[in-house]
Amino acid sequence: MSTLPPIPDLGDDEIAALRERYRVERERRIRPDGSAQYRRAQGRFGYYAEDPYADPDFTRGPLRDRVDAVVLGGGFGGLCAGARLRQAGLERIRIVEKGGDFGGTWYWNRYPGIHCDIESHVYLPLLEEVGHVPKWKYAPGEEIRQHAMAIGRTFDLYRDACFQTGIVELRWDDGEWVVRTDRDDEMRATYVVVSNGTLDHPKLPAIPGIETFTGHTFHTSRWDYAYTGGSPDGGLSGLADKRVAIIGTGATAIQVVPHVARDAAQLHVFQRTPSSVDVRDNRPTDPRWADSLRPGWHARRRENFQAVVTGEHVDEDLVDDAWTRSAHVLGKIISSDARADWGPEAWERAEELLDFDKMNRLRARVERVVDDPATADLLKPWYRYGCKRPTFSDEYLQAFNRPNVALVDTADHGGVERFTERSLVVGDAEYEVDCVIFATGFEVGKSDVLTGRLPVRGRDGRNLQQHWRSSGVRTLHGVCSSGFPNLFQLGSVQNAPSVNFAHVLDEQAIHVGEVIAEARRRGVERVEPTPEAEEAWAATIESTSPERARFDAECTPGYYNNEGDARGRRTYGRGPAAFQRLLREWRTGDGIDEVLGDAG
């Protein structure tokens, strides 16, 4: 497994042409307004984010009580935090969640075709604890949502949960947190864990005239089955006489388009940047394999997947799918000895050649599958693998062979240019439709704490957001901050990202659970890093980040690189496996004293 895949033999002319094509395609798509091209689904557009599943008449009286921990967010991050705090021995754990139940992104997203895009056996957390083996290699959304609810039951997290509730303020007061909510609660908690913002809030492109459109519209994360008919399994009979537009061609659209293509009278897919679409090959889980699993299988498998996709050495690729095979092709499976032997320049060149080769294969797949050469050309992605989230489907490209489906390229116009009462406009062309579905994604990695929407006041009335604005985001390991005792954050800040984000969140939750367990063992009441520890972590992040920053800067725009402006992104560059090892060693060594210094 540690041998380098054969390096493709591309001529200098071809390499130069590919580099130039990538540059040109990136330039075509860069918008001066960057992230400001999107608007939050709120105010006038708030209905795009309304909860179609919860009871609109739900009421309850305000809570004035004391719990051991409040967890903000009931998605996989919050559920893992709840489970790990339970394992740490906490009794009263209150998850506060805006939605009507657990599930987070899997609560909101129920669009037709919804499936896990990472193998479910490594994506779903706490499988062994709950006693579940996913039924499919890539599980449908409903099975995932049911698993989230099962975690809630297994760890008795429903008992104290508050649904349909938003936290509006966190304030440190006299040795504990005061948590205020939009239902007038004022709870007190020893610990607070914030875990929202991963794929939280739908975003809309600020396309002029959007409010004048008189047809039907909705966002994929609030699928309107009352209008379309059918279910996440398809059968959208309400679209049989409808002309439908889908805006966006990211990971969500890849799953939605085949269903709408099958059922709508007419479908126009408005594309700005094509996704890379690799094979999916979904299949039911072999029951004999499920029966053969031994305790510890889940952690072993998920660590193995993480190692493979981030270039760590493994003896066997357990998941063996298009994610991991791409990692092999891209030469990520290479021993550090070989990397060191080659030197950085030769290594980077080899990596680029392997990347060109991988993308050439994906472009060739488009050509093989899509009948119309002009459409096939538009569907070819011209950027490096991993610039955008890779996607996988055995139905998406095929949908463009249907006579009722058309692709509209918007790349030279910065996207859909404007709406009229009945149509969407791109260049000189107008497309009259009955319904517009926004598959335009989410605010990613923007927790309410990070954005300042949730005011946080720590020791001595210190305001977290003002503190970070003046001196930059400061954390130890992305998890806790000086001046804000017993406050923990899960998410993407100052740690190591991975394509399997549920795994990242669970590792953070395990970390928080073990730190709290140790604090309780030692009788330490306040868990809080020293400013020096934060400083040292900021320096580690700074010194390991640049490699990815350069890669991002050359990528086509998208949320992975902050719409082409990658400056703000700072992560731990040695990868998630190294990060998790670092945390483990820190917890079991002297490191943990950095946050447990005060036994008072």
| φ and ψ at residue 339, rounded to 5 degrees | -60, -45
Segment contacting ligand NDP by CB under 6 A, of 247-255, 286-294, 446-454, 462-470: 247-255
Nearest to 76 by CA among 120, 135, 131: 120
Of 165 and 249, the one with the shorter C-beta distance to ligand NDP is 249
Of 120 and 544, the one with the shorter C-beta distance to ligand NDP is 120
| 253 binds ligand NDP per the rule CB under 6 A | yes
| 439 binds ligand NDP per the rule CB under 6 A | yes
| 416 binds ligand NDP per the rule CB under 6 A | yes
Segment contacting ligand NDP by CB under 6 A, of 66-74, 408-416, 445-453, 589-597: 408-416
Of 113 and 483, the one with the shorter C-beta distance to ligand NDP is 113
| 205 binds ligand NDP per the rule CB under 6 A | yes
Of 270 and 579, the one with the shorter C-beta distance to ligand NDP is 270
| 410 binds ligand NDP per the rule CB under 6 A | yes
Segment contacting ligand NDP by CB under 6 A, of 155-163, 265-273, 280-288, 519-527: 265-273
| 31 binds ligand NDP per the rule CB under 6 A | no
CA angle 250, 253, 254 (to 5 degrees): 85
| 389 binds ligand NDP per the rule CB under 6 A | yes
In this structure, which amino acid lies at residue 363?
R
x/- letters, 269..298, toward ligand NDP (CB under 6 A)? -x-xx-------------------------
Residue 367 host element (H or E): helix 344-369
Shortest spacing between CB 470 and ligand NDP, in angstroms = 31
Q: Give residues with Cβ within 8 angstroms of 69, minimum separation 6.
A: 85, 90, 92, 93, 94, 189, 190, 191, 192, 193
| 248 binds ligand NDP per the rule CB under 6 A | yes
Cβ-contact 502, 121 below 8 angstroms: no
Of residues 11 through 30, those in contact with ligand NDP by CB under 6 A are: 29
Cβ-contact 565, 558 below 8 angstroms: no
Of 238 and 558, the one with the shorter C-beta distance to ligand NDP is 558
DSSP 523-566: T-------HHHHHHHHHHHHHH-HHHHHHHHTSPSSGGGTTT-G
With CB under 6 A as the contact rule, the residue among 78, 112, 125, 250 that binds ligand NDP is: 250
Of 350 and 439, the one with the shorter C-beta distance to ligand NDP is 439
Beta-bridged to residue 173, according to DSSP, are 176
* Distance of alpha carbon 327 from alpha carbon 333, whole angstroms: 7
DSSP 197-222: -SEEEEEEE--TTGGG--SEEEEGGG
Beta-bridged to residue 247, according to DSSP, are 270, 438
Segment contacting ligand NDP by CB under 6 A, of 114-122, 166-174, 399-407, 490-498: 114-122
Nearest to 142 by CA among 95, 119, 109, 118: 109
DSSP 83-135: HHHHHTT-S-EEEE-SSSSS-THHHH---TT-B-SS-HHHHSSSHHHHT---S
x/- letters, 537..576, toward ligand NDP (CB under 6 A)? ---------------------xx-----------------
Residue 70 host element (H or E): strand 66-72
Of 231 and 336, the one with the shorter C-beta distance to ligand NDP is 231
| 247 binds ligand NDP per the rule CB under 6 A | yes
Query: Can you list the alpha helix ranges (DSSP code H) found in 214-267?
Result: 225-228, 251-263
* Distance of alpha carbon 394 from alpha carbon 400, whole angstroms: 12
With CB under 6 A as the contact rule, the residue among 99, 311, 381, 441 that binds ligand NDP is: 441
Q: Which residues contribute to the site for ligand NDP (CB under 6 A)?
A: 29, 115-118, 199, 205, 207, 247-253, 270, 272-273, 389, 410, 415-416, 439-442, 558-559
